[in-house]
Amino acid sequence: MSDVRRINKEKGMHFFDRDTMRFFSSRIETKNFLIDGKYFITSEQRDMTQRRRYTVRKFNPETGSITTVGDFQQFGSAAEARKGAYKFAETDGT
């Protein structure tokens, strides 16, 4: 993930900026690895009254961009998101 963060920043992107992460109450759930070399999971919490939900993200090393795969906050648990990420990786043609 450190390479993903570095490349994202070098390409002028702000996905991992402290202020961006704080605004969305985002956490990186797959801190030490990428699934299939490009997928990772974040969690977000809209406000303190709601449960944290999980989103699968895809990293593009050429552009440094991060995109949402599926729907934002699609998963109710980290385990469900991990299963979803592996499924997305299986069906990904890139």
pTM of the predicted protein model: 0.90
Report whether 3 contacts 32 (CB < 8 A).
no
* Residues present in the chain in total: 94
Distances (CA, A) of 47 to 17, 21, 44, 90: 20, 14, 9, 33
Look-up of token digits 């979803």: 84
The SS3 of residue 37 is: coil
Q: What is the mean pLDDT of each run of 10 residues along the chain (94 residues)?
A: 94 94 92 90 89 96 95 96 94 72
What is the reported pLDDT for 70? 95
Count Cβ atoms within 10 A of the Cβ of residue 57 and give its class: 0-12 exposed, 13-18 middle, 19 or more buried. Answer: buried
